[in-house]
Chains A and B, each alone.
Chain A
């Protein structure tokens, strides 16, 4: 079963676990993606390898980027059946606060979806969704 077939099964069954299991990087990082209606909530459970600065016990910015991009792609896949996997054209990341050594969550909003390109904005937070630790805006090619 390829990734897009897994997505179709996941959308029918309302469970994204088999999709994540098929993507080595996301499963190696222990990411979780939980559907909540039309939205997907991404989660990066804290683990010691995600640290970027051990003196202040801060998450590596790359782990936040990985969670934001992953959540955006899964949100695009969750929104509708697709012929091809969305391909990243560019990503602009803003680091807003120090990511602490706790679990991190993310959500993504499709700002615009055309025939060829989607614009997606994603935010990551820890305890308080109103205090994001990082955000990203991305363009994806859809065909």
Chain B
């Protein structure tokens, strides 16, 4: 096992296996870089939102994009900090494809003191031909070391 495979296995443990909903969806990290993550969402009957066309429900796609963008922020941080999604937008450039694995790729384009910003796409195998374009904003909790991501704004 190469160093890269070991890091990928750790990312999978932190973001897929140990995050119950990501595990339920079957999300798997397949690539990474500094501030960059790529996940695969397998085609599964339980993900279908429109039974006539067989396309996945937008909820599964939103969740996969949230997880991928969060992982990208995490991979952009110098030390593991707790992060939380503040805002996430998905634009459907066209209909999600039916019956095939989907790929989610996100980059963290800026980590500021308290917030981080992401861009991402979802595609069916060709990253240059995405069906979703996405932007996200994440809260970065300085001083709160955490191996994992959470959701929700500041406690109030």
List A residues at the B interface (Cβ < 8 Å).
2-3, 22-26, 28-29, 48-56, 58-67, 69-70, 85, 87-99, 133-134
- Decide yes or no: A58 and B58 within 8 Å by CB, A66-B63, A87-B95 being known contacts: no
Task: List chain A residues, Cβ under 8 A from B156.
Answer: 97
**Distance from B60 Cβ to chain A, minimum over Cβ atoms (Å):** 6
- Cβ-defined partner of B47 (8 Å) among A25, A50, A90, A94: A25
Main secondary structure of the interface of A (DSSP, over half): mixed
Query: How many chain B residues have a CB neighbour from A under 8 Å?
Result: 46
- Cβ-defined partner of B58 (8 Å) among A28, A48, A56, A88: A88
Task: List chain A residues, Cβ under 8 A from B23.
Answer: 49
Report the bound CA distance from A52 to B146 in whole Å.
13
- Cβ-defined partner of B62 (8 Å) among A53, A69, A87: A69
A24–B20 CB distance below 8 A: no
Report the bound CA distance from A59 to B63 in whole Å.
11
Task: List chain B residues, Cβ under 8 A from A89.
Answer: 91-92
Interface 9-mer from B2-10, B48-56, B71-79, B115-123: B48-56
Report the bound CA distance from A132 to B34 in whole Å.
34
Q: Answer yes or no: B150 CB below 8 A from chain A CBs.
A: yes
List B residues at the A interface (Cβ < 8 Å).
18-25, 45-52, 56-60, 62-64, 66-67, 84-92, 95, 146-153, 155-156
Other A-B pairs beyond A69-B62, A89-B92, A98-B150, 5, CB < 8 Å: A61-B88, A62-B25, A62-B67, A65-B66, A90-B91
- Decide yes or no: A65 and B18 within 8 Å by CB, A55-B148, A58-B150 being known contacts: no
Task: List chain A residues, Cβ under 8 A from B149.
Answer: 52-53
Report the bound CA distance from A106 to B56 in whole Å.
21
A53–B150 CB distance below 8 A: yes
B58–A50 CB distance below 8 A: no
A61–B56 CB distance below 8 A: no
Nearest 10 CB-CB pairings of A with B: A62-B63, A66-B59, A98-B152, A60-B21, A25-B57, A53-B150, A61-B151, A65-B62, A49-B24, A28-B46
Some 13 contacts from A to B, beta carbons below 8 A apart, are A22-B51, A52-B149, A53-B146, A54-B18, A54-B20, A59-B151, A60-B20, A60-B67, A61-B151, A66-B62, A93-B85, A96-B153, A99-B151
- Cβ-defined partner of A70 (8 Å) among B18, B51, B59, B86: B59
B20–A92 CB distance below 8 A: no
Report the bound CA distance from A2 to B50 in whole Å.
10
